[in-house]
Chain A
Amino acid sequence: MSGAWQEAHEIAASVQAGSLRAASVLDGALERIEREAGRYNCFTEVLADQARADAARLDAQVAAGRKPGPLAGVPFAVKNLFDVKGIRTLAGSKINRDLPPAGEDAAAVRALRAAGALLVGALNMDEYAYGFTSENAHYGPVRNPYDPARSAGGSSGGSGAAVAAGLVPISLGSDTGGSIRVPAAFCGLYGLKPTYGRVSRSGIVLFSPSVDHVGPLARSVRDLALAYDLLQGPDADDPSCADRPAEAVSALFGEGIRGLRTALAGGYFREHAEPEAVAAARRVAQALGAGGEEIVPDAAAARAAAMIVTGVEGAGLHLRNLRDRPGDFDPLTRDRFLAAALLPGSIYTRAQSFRRAYRDAVREVFSRVDILVAPTTPIAAPLIGQETVSLGGNTFPSRAHVGRFTIPFSIIGLPVISVPVRGSALPRGVQLVGAPFKEVQLFRAAAFLEAQGIAGFTRPA
Chain B
Amino acid sequence: MPPPPDAGALERYVEEAAKPLGLPIEPAWRPVVAEHLRRLLEAAELIERSALRGAEPATRFEP
Contact = CB atoms under 8 A, between A and B. Distances in A.
Interface of A: 210, 297-298, 300-301, 303-305, 307-308, 311, 322-323, 326, 331, 334-336, 338-344, 347, 349-361
A338 B2 contact: no
Interface string B36-53: 110111111011111111
Interface of B is mostly: helix
B40 A339 contact: yes
A318 to B, nearest CB: 11
A190 B55 CA distance: 37
A344 B36 contact: no
A60 to B, nearest CB: 47
Interface in B17-42: 17-18, 21-26, 29, 32-34, 36-37, 39-42
B54 A304 contact: no
Given A323-B22, A339-B33, A341-B21, A351 B59 contact: no
Interface of B: 2, 13-14, 17-18, 21-26, 29, 32-34, 36-37, 39-44, 46-59
A350 B43 contact: no
A349 B47 CA distance: 11
Contact of A308 (B14, B24, B32, B43): B43
Contacts, number: 118
- The 9 residue pairs across chains A and B that have the minimum distance between CB atoms: A304-B43, A339-B36, A352-B57, A357-B54, A353-B54, A356-B54, A357-B52, A355-B58, A304-B46
B52 A301 contact: yes
Nearest to B31: A335
Nearest to A305: B47
Contacts of B32: 331, 335
A353 B57 contact: yes
A322 B23 contact: yes
Contacts of A355: 54, 57-58
A115 B53 CA distance: 45
Given A304-B42, A335-B36, 17 more contacts: A298-B50, A298-B51, A301-B46, A308-B47, A323-B22, A323-B23, A338-B25, A338-B33, A339-B14, A339-B34, A340-B40, A342-B13, A344-B2, A347-B40, A350-B44, A356-B57, A357-B52
Nearest to A413: B58
Contact of A326 (B25, B34, B46, B49): B25
Given A326-B25, A343-B37, A338 B18 contact: yes
Contacts of A353: 53-58
A358 B46 CA distance: 13
A307 B54 contact: no
B53 A342 contact: no
B14 A342 contact: yes
Nearest to B38: A339
Contacts of B48: 350
Contacts of B33: 335, 338-339, 342
A157 to B, nearest CB: 22
Nearest to A322: B23
A354 B44 CA distance: 10
Contact of B24 (A323, A351, A352): A323
A341 B55 contact: no
A361 B52 contact: yes
A338 B40 CA distance: 12
Contacts of A359: 58
Nearest to B37: A339
A311 B42 CA distance: 14
Contacts of B37: 339, 342-343
Contacts of A349: 57
Nearest to B14: A342
B52 A358 contact: yes
Contact of B44 (A298, A347, A358): A347
